[in-house]
Amino acid sequence: MLTHHNLMSGAMASAKVRGMQDDDMTFRALPLAHIFGLVAFLSVCGAQGRVRLKARFAVDRLYRALQTDVTLLPAVPQMHALLFHYARAQNKPRYEGDLLRFVSSGGAPLDPVWKREAEAFYGIPLQNGYGLTEGSAGVCATKSPLGDADVSVGFPMEGSLFRLDFEAEGATPNEGIGEILLGGPQVMKGYFRDPAQSARVLTSDGFYRTGDLGRLDQEERLHIAGRSKELIIRSGFNVYPVEVEAALSDHPEVIMAGVVGRPAAGNEEVLAFVKVAAGCSLSEAELSGFVKDKLAPYKRPTRIILTQDLPTAPTGKILKAKLISTFADQLQGETTI
């Protein structure tokens, strides 16, 4: 349950971090039924700006809009990746306009390769962020200069507060990783008609237990390690999917990757699902060899499924819960890489 105050706090914080003005044109391929789309739309209204609102993402529409009048582009990493591949197919290695002044990534972990590729394409810094429905969308953002190698989600946005719980499920205290607890005016009132679940996630002092795992670096910037529920425990070691996905996505022929765990003979195996372009000749064995020196043995995928399409939400975010069922046929057998 999000109050008017929750939503407007999120919207105003979003407008401020982007420096929104009344002459800005924002591209939004986000449904208004989604918190990201709703609060993003409210932020444009609050700044009295303009918006190209799309119910579903289409890379050709985004490409054309960038050539026309778009000045602000918030998108998930997968949207950026698809745009780069589409532009290359048009023999356009980079953005050639001069209107775009702010581009950001959110809704899914930011891979360092995507960040470098994005900045080379757009010619301006790529900002990252972190948000969630229970926190009225965005609650953290970066303000990095061009070329900054930082892939954190930055600092708390206006009004937001964070602390880490190192005793929570999935926490790794010796690595500085704990569950992220969120406080501030953007935190929800509770879950509708579910006081028991609300009590489980809301602390007595008003902080929300996000279920996300994170750490703070020396600059006090927040880094997301993954979801506690997505944590893979293999041979007694913690495997954070975001690290494996980053290693896979470092390959130039990989568009995006999703990594999940699956029970296997008293253990848990690491499964990777990788989207590649049509006509790509990359093989499972080749990609496995590519990440061999990037990942410790227990982090390496047991299977890598190569495909031209992955199940995604309207925002472009990979639907990890559907990966195993979608590719059940390809997962048959005992192939070990």
DSSP secondary structure string for all residues of 37-94:
HHHHHHHHHHTT-EEEE-SS--HHHHHHHHTTT--EEEE-HHHHHHHHHHHHHTT--S
* Among 220, 217, 305, residue whose Cα is nearest residue 269: 305
The residue-averaged pLDDT of 294-312 equals 94
Whether the predicted pLDDT of 336 surpasses 50? no
Predicted confidence at residue 107, as pLDDT, reads 67
Tokens 């356009």 sit on residue = 92
Which pLDDT band holds residue 226 (cuts at 50, 70, 90)?
A: confident
CA angle 240, 271, 307 (to 5 degrees): 120
Considering only CA atoms, which of 299, 308, 300, 301 is closest in space to residue 327?
A: 308
Does position 106 have pLDDT exceeding 80, yes or no?
Answer: no
Interhelix angle 35-46/4-18, nearest 10 degrees: 70
According to the model, what pLDDT value does residue 15 have? 96
Assess contact for 161 and 206: CB atoms under 8 A: no
- Picking from 173-187, 190-204, 254-268, which range would have the lowest pLDDT averaged per residue? 254-268
Query: Comparing C-alpha atoms, which of 289, 234, 240, 299 is closest to residue 262?
Result: 234
128-137, 231-240, 253-262, range with the lowest pLDDT: 231-240
- Structural domains of the chain, ranges and CATH numbers in brackets: 4-154 (3.40.50.12780), 161-227 (2.30.38.10), 232-326 (3.30.300.30)
Mean per-residue pLDDT over the chain, rounded = 91
For residues 81 and 62, give the distance between their C-alpha atoms in angstroms, rounded to a whole number: 12
Question: Tens digits of per-residue pLDDT, 4-56?
Answer: 999 999 999 999 999 999 999 999 887 788 888 899 899 999 999 999 988 78
Percent of the chain with pLDDT over 70: 97
pLDDT value, residue 335: 45
- Is 184 buried (19+), middle (13-18) or exposed (0-12) by CB count in 10 A? buried
Quick check: 334 pLDDT over 60? no
Q: How far apart are CA 204 and CA 78, in angstroms?
A: 37
- Written as one string, the DSSP assignment of 155-216 is EEPTT-EEEEETTSTT-BGGGTBEEEEEESTTS-S--TT-HHHHHHHB-TTS-EEEEEEEEE
Query: Over 60: is that where the pLDDT of 328 sits?
Result: yes
